Structure 1
Amino acid sequence: MPTALIILIIIFAVIAIILISGIRVVNQTTKYVVERMGAYHKTWGVGIHWLIPFIDRVATVVTLKEQVKDFDPQAVITKDNVTMQIDTIVFFQVTDPKLYAYGVDNPIFAIESLSATTLRNIIGELDLDATLTSRDIINEKMRQILDEATDPWGIKVTRVEVKNIIPPKDIREAMEKQMRAERERRQTILIAEGEKRAQILQAEGFSESTVLRAEAAKREAILKAEAEAEAIFKTKEAEALGIKLIKEAAADDAVLKIKAFEALAKVADGQSTKIIVPSNLADLAGTVTALAEVAQTKTTKKNTSNNQ
């Protein structure tokens, strides 16, 4: 094989390698900032691109994903001259790769420095209590200021979060004592309210039980009175019925005198120490004698009949 042909093949191989090495594939979430002869040429998006060897070069590869940077704690001084440590987290996204590549040198360091100065300015307008209770306000103010400042750099700050606030040791101890005192106060109040509630419930229970007992006694007395009234009514009704039956039977004086004598006998057989004798006792005795003779006559006649 001639030497010239070998050299030609080598030259073509080198040229092919150079041309192939200029092929670039850009992913979905990245952008390529391309320079030509040292000046900005264009920004490549997703797809296949060819880089002219020795003329074009990729200056910066920029990711379009949202990025998170956790910065070191910064020493800040509050309005009431309390020094504390605050660290923040910044969420940002590149919106213009060209501005990001040429707007500022080391954008991450620029954001960190800007975040520190902004935080000091905001905290300097707040006292300690406001700083500890106004995280949302601090976050929103920092986001607005950082977003406006980073706009010329092709960066959009989407969110800022105060990660941690570290007051001095003596302030932390005082806050812990205050929290313990507050918890003890709340506990005392809860115990007092519980005791008060228990006493109220006990008094209400005693009052309700008294009312119930009074109502029960009232119902018992009413039922007892109704029973006695019913008994008296039944007794009087029976007496009235007896008198009515006697009247309907047309009882004569002899029957009435016998009933009176029977009543007198019952009284005599009782436990009474006094007996009231009626004024017509003699007539009553005569009547009894007559009845006895009649009864004896009937008995004699009966015996005679039996003997015959």
Structure 2
Amino acid sequence: MNVNGILSTILALDGGGSTAGKWIAAIVVPAILIAIAVRNIRIVPQATDFVIERLGAYIATWHAGLHIKYPFVDRVSRIVSLKEKVADFQPLDVITKDNVTLQIDAVLYYQITDSRLYTYGIENPIIAMENLSATTLRNVIGDLELDQTLTSRDLINARMRLSLDEATGPWGIKVNRVELKNIIPPKEIQVAMEHQMKAEREKRENVLRAEGEKEAAIRVAEGEKAASILRAEAKKESAIREAEGQAAAILKVQEATAQGLLMLKSVAADPPLLALKSLETLAHVADGKATKIIIPSEIQNLSGLLMSLKEVVKDDTSVESGS
């Protein structure tokens, strides 16, 4: 039974003048009014819009909060979520500028910014975005070669986002991001790319090995250089020490010679004794190793030498007899 029927029954009972009818009317009518009021009080959740129509025409958009609509004339046409959504489309075959067929699938992150435009702007907006993204992707990839397509994901994402965002603006949709999930080239190109990557890896490995060997050779050369320097320094130090030792020895000999000369000079050595020492020295000189002997002029006078020796012997004899 509808509301009109209930009201008619209540009025009939009330018109009959029965006490029961009055009590029923007093209870039922307020209950019906409360039910109608409660039914037309709506609470809109956060990040949600209600599109309201009055007698079939758009009248308002309700945002988060408490709202009351007119009964029987207002209705909620559409409940729109304002949260960011993800649209994952099927893989699409596209052709690059150098006529290579690729299979690419993209993901769209979009958000509804105008519930009225989203409701009345286009029929089936998700299908429209899928078709629009397909045409946009074909246009973008058609301007790029294979190598550029494989290495320019960010460029493709940015160009697609700008194009889609501009086209979906009149629909109340904002495209926040576009991401390419997979770029799948033909099988033969995949094999060629694998060979190329293998060659690149081997090249890098050879370069690294050569650099390592070079570094090792440099380290060995530096070590040998340091060792040579240390050996030269040690040899130099040894030569210096040896020269210092020889110089010290020569100095000691010279000092001893000078000391001997000073001692001879200090004592009053008589001529006969000096003559005897000269003969002893001459004997050492003529020890058979020399082929020539140079006799000083002081001892060339043999007679004077003999007389001197005689005096020396005489003096020795006198000393012995006196003792």
8 A Cα contact 2:272 2:309, kept in partner: no
Q: Does 1:118 align with 2:133?
A: no
Deviation at 1:120, TM superposition (A): 1.1
Residue 7 of structure 1 and its aligned partner are, at CA, apart by 4.1
* Counterpart Cα distance in 2 of 1:17 and 1:83: 63
Aligned partner of 2:119 in structure 1 is 101
In the alignment, structure 1 residue 286 sits paired with structure 2 residue 304 = no
Task: Please report how far the alpha carbon of residue 48 of structure 1 lies from its aligned counterpart in structure 2 after TM superposition.
Answer: 0.8
Preserved contact between residue 26 and residue 46 of structure 1 (Cα < 8 Å): yes
- Deviations along 1:265-300, one digit per CA (max 9) or x if unpaired, are 9x59xxx6559897667456435523532442343x
1:42 counterpart residue number:
60
State the Cα deviation string for residues 116-171 of structure 1 (Å, max 9, x = none). Answer: 11111111121211110111110110011001001101111122111221112221
Structure 1, residues 89-125: CA drift from partner, whole Å, max 9, x if none?
2122222121111111222222222111111111112
Structure 1 residues 233 and 6 mapped into 2: Cα distance closer, same or farther (>3 Å)?
A: same
Q: Sequence identity of aligned pairs in percent?
A: 52
Question: Would the aligned equivalents of 1:261 and 1:284 in 2 still touch at CA under 8 Å?
Answer: no
Listed one character per residue, the Cα deviations across residues 29-66 of structure 1 (whole Å, up to 9, x for unaligned) are 22221111111111112221112222111112222222
Structure 1 contact 77–83 (Cα < 8 Å) conserved: yes
Secondary structure in 1 aligned to 2:150?
Answer: helix
The answer to whether the aligner puts 1:157 opposite 2:181 as a matched pair is: no
Question: For each residue in 1:1-25, what CA deviation from the matched residue of structure 2 results, as whole angstroms up to 9, or x when unmatched?
Answer: 6134214422331221121011111
**TM-superposed deviation, 1:180:** 0.6
Aligned equivalents of 1:250, 1:156: Cα separation in 2? 130
Other-structure match for 1:221 = 239
- With structure 2 as the length reference, what TM-score do the two structures score? 0.80
CA distance in 2, matches of 1:283, 1:34: 163
Flag the 1:283–1:218 CA change in 2: closer, same or farther, 3 A. Answer: farther
Of 203, 209, 214, 1:196 maps to 214
SS in 2 for 1:75: strand
- Partners of 2:64 and 2:166 lie apart in 1 by 29
Greater shift after overlay, 233-242 or 173-182? 233-242
Which residue in 1 is equivalent to 2:69? 51
- Classify 1:163/1:198 alpha carbon distance in 2 versus 1 (closer, same or farther; 3 Å): same
1:86 counterpart (104, 107, 118): 104
Please give the secondary structure, in 2, of the residue aligned with 1:104: coil
Flag the 1:221–1:284 CA change in 2: closer, same or farther, 3 A: farther
CA separation in 2, counterparts of 1:70 and 1:28?
25
Give the conservation status (yes or no) of the 8 Å contact 2:161–2:176.
yes
Whichever residue aligns with residue 126 of structure 2, its letter is I
CA distance in 2, matches of 1:128, 1:283: 128
Structure 1 residue identity aligned to 2:76: V
Amino acid at match of 1:66: E
Matched residue type, 2:102: M
Please report the TM-score for the alignment, with normalisation by the length of structure 1.
0.84
CA–CA separation in structure 2 for the residues paired with 1:283 and 1:49: 162
1:260 Cα deviation after fit: 5.0
Q: Which position in structure 1 is the counterpart of 2:32?
A: 14
Runs of at least 5 residues in structure 2 that lack an aligned partner in the other structure: 1-18
For residues 24 and 294 of structure 1, the distance between their equivalents in structure 2, rounded to whole angstroms, comes to 163
Aligned CA distance change for structure 1 residues 294 and 72 (closer, same or farther; 3 Å): farther
| Distance change (3 Å), C-alpha of 1:12 and 1:259 | same
Match 2:203 to one of 148, 160, 185 = 185
Number of equivalenced pairs: 295
Counterpart check, 1:252 vs 2:289: no
How many angstroms apart in 2 are the aligned matches of 1:7 and 1:190?
97
Distance of aligned partners of 1:206 and 1:96 in 2 relative to their CA distance in 1, 3 Å threshold? same
Which has the larger displacement, 32-41 or 67-76?
Answer: 67-76
- 1:297 and 1:155, CA in 2 relative to 1: closer, same or farther beyond 3 A? same
Tell me the amino acid that sits aligned with residue 71 of structure 1. F
Is the deviation greater in 213-222 or in 72-81? Answer: 213-222
